[in-house]
Amino acid sequence: MLKKKDFDDKREISIFDEALIFNRDDYWQFRMYLPTEKRYIQQSLKTRNKAIAIEKGKDLFHDIRAEVRNGKKLFSMTTKDAVTA
C-alpha cells in the first residue's frame, strides 16, 4: 500500500495502489515497497512514452508479486543481518 495519496498527474502514476511509476529526467521509473524485505525496489522502465511505461509497470508489478509469492528474495542479505545470523 502506498503512503502517498496525492500524485502529480504528469510525473507520477499509481499502479494497483501498491506501486508507482514516475518520470525522472524524461525517463519513466518504477518503484514498489516490499514489506517482507522492508525495502523499496526501483527500476528504470527505459522508455519516455507514458502509455508504454504504464504497461511495463503493470507487467513488472505482476512479475515482482509472483516472485515474492514464491518465496524468492529480491535483495541479498546485508552485512548487519549476516553478523547477527
User: Looking at residues 37-56, what average pLDDT do you find?
Assistant: 95
27-34: strand order across its sheet? 12-15, 19-24, 27-34, 39-44
pLDDT band at 41 (very low <50, low <70, confident <90, very high): very high
HSE at residue 62, side-chain half, CA atoms within 13 A, is: 5
pLDDT of residue 75: 85
* Nearest C-alpha neighbor of 68 from the set 37, 40, 45: 37
d(CA 14, CA 85): 37
Q: What is the pTM of this model?
A: 0.81
- State yes or no: pLDDT of 9 exceeds 80: no
- State yes or no: pLDDT of 85 exceeds 70: yes
Q: Are 18 and 30 in contact (CB under 8 A)?
A: no
> Which grid coordinates are listed for 81?
543481518
